[in-house]
Chains A and B, each alone.
Chain A
Amino acid sequence: MRGLLIDASLSWRLHPQVALRPEPFGALLYHFGTRRLSFLKNRTIVAVVESLADHPDVRSALSASGVDPGDEAPYLHALGVLAESDMLVPV
């Protein structure tokens, strides 16, 4: 999946119909509306996704989870994939 381009200066959060289940490898996301399942493959991306709603923008959520500005690209890509499948919605 290519994913949307996520602007790190904007605010996103989990879709209200999405549930997150922690797992040893990361987490499962399930969207009750689209009935799609996604996998978060490490703990950092789990922390980022879980904390999105607590931050004014994506960049501060990344930074709060210990992602340095130079390492943002793969996380922004992952968030873009989630946004494209409606797991994340803009605030």
Chain B
Amino acid sequence: MSAPARVPRLVEQFERGLDAPICLTWELTYACNLACLHCLSSSGKRDPRELSTRQCMDIIDELQRMQVFYVNIGGGEPTVRPDFWELVDYATAHQVGVKFSTNGVRITPDVAVRLAASDYVDVQISLDGATAEVNDSLRGAGSFEMAVRALENLRAAGFSDAKISVVVTRHNVAQLDDFAALAERYGATLRITRLRPSGRGADVWDELHPTAEQQRQLYDWLVANGERVLTGDSFFHLSGLGEPGALPGLNMCGAGRVVCLIDPVGDVYACPFAIHDRFLAGNVLSDSVDGAGGFENVWKHSALFTELRNPQSAGACGSCGHYDSCRGGCMAAKFFTGLPLDGPDPECVQGYGAPALAGPREVPRPRADHSRTVLLTLGQPPGKPPSKPCNESPI
């Protein structure tokens, strides 16, 4: 809406941080039935320290007090937690709406009917190819069929406006219109986001991130179709390709300012793409004050979030005429490709990323890896059976 009186732009206000996040991602478990090559959280095996049902409910109580209107629940595959539906019901009964991301494994016809009956639950099905061939090469054999079956079940149950969530890669960028058609077929909304070199994504990013030419194609597609497509504001690094404001969305990095992540063990990170000590702000259990929940304390007082809410240095990008549109790009993308945080994004549209990537750099190691040891390889079907029982699929 337009401002009734002159006040600083909303983006400037947001960069100083809010009293509570607007967009909170909560990963409930590191357990997953799939082993996607680009998994942001290197998920696979459950972490033995994952929060209990009671601890999760305490967090929900705190989110209700802070008026965090909704959470984006993910993982891992969140629906494999035995208490998943109990937690969803608890959240929605406490004025915390839920949008959860799933590969579809538990979206049976019965579950779909249940979901359709709730006003406060939104479902997001992950799909990284508009065809089984493209999707399964990244997400594993059978994952396309599983996702489409979930969408069919939701449609049959009368669930309206599910989301289809796509990570844009070199292999699916040409399928954007096909994804839009797929969404239309299931009465769903398409959501596309940027491939980040986070988690296992670090290992495949070089081969999978869109080429410079594809970035332009993606930008043009977004400008033409952006109003009916969600992006989680994830393509702001492309803003410099056109006029300011041409790309829908706020186009800012919300990390620690309007966005954060709670991981399955209660660690709070600046954003879902930054699971690393460098971006760890605190822990909801160990940072609690006098027995009260620790999330609010971390959000309001952690040293990291305070630092992120202060003006950031443009560094090497300061002299670039496009800095005002892209703001130097994505912090996590820079960090996990070993580039300095005050320099260009690895996918800088002015071309400053490529020489930076070619220069000497050290790629940081992930903080924790919950991968099962048997993983897919690019373009190959899943390998041998697991060598240890704990590598078995959790469901």
Interchain CA distance A19-B70 in the complex, whole Å: 11
Interface of A is mostly: mixed
What size tier do the contact residues of chain B reach?
20 to 34
B3 touches A (CB below 8 Å): yes
Rounded to whole angstroms, the CA-CA distance of A38 and B3 in the bound complex is 12
B5 in contact with A32 (CB, 8 Å): no
Q: State whether B119 touches A32 (Cβ < 8 A).
A: yes
Q: Is B1 an interface residue (CB 8 A)?
A: yes
Contact call B5/A30, Cβ cutoff below 8 A: no
Are A41's CB and B69's CB within 8 A?
A: no
| Cβ contacts A27-42/B at 8 Å (1 or 0 each) | 0101011010111011
Whether B2 lies near A32 (C-beta < 8 A) is: no
Instruction: Choose from B4, B10, B97, B119 the contact partner of A25 (Cβ within 8 Å).
Output: B10
Asked if residues B22 and A25 are in contact (CB atoms below 8 Å), the reply is no
> Which residue from A23, A24, A32, A39 sits with its C-beta under 8 Å from B69?
A32
B97 touches A75 (CB 8 A): no
Q: How far is the CA of A22 from the CA of B22 in the complex (A)?
A: 12
Q: Which residue of A lies closest to B67 (CB)?
A: A21
Q: How many A-B Cβ pairs are below 8 Å?
A: 68
Tell me the smallest distance from the CB of B10 to a CB of chain A, in Å. 6
A45 at the A/B interface (Cβ < 8 Å)? yes
Are A37 and B3 in contact, with the CB atoms below 8 A?
Answer: no
- The reply to whether A30 and B70 contact each other, CB–CB distance below 8 Å, is yes
Cα–Cα, bound, A70→B3 (Å): 17
Q: Does B71 contact A (CB under 8 A)?
A: no
CB pair B7–A77 under 8 Å, yes or no, is: no
Given contact pairs A25-B10, A33-B119, A41 touches B4 in the complex (Cβ within 8 A): yes
Chain B interface (Cβ < 8 Å from any Cβ of A): 1-5, 7-8, 10, 13, 16, 18-20, 22, 67, 69-70, 95, 97, 119-120, 122
**A30-B70, A33-B119, A35-B70 known; 6 other A-B pairs, CB under 8 Å?**
A23-B13, A28-B18, A32-B119, A38-B1, A42-B3, A81-B2
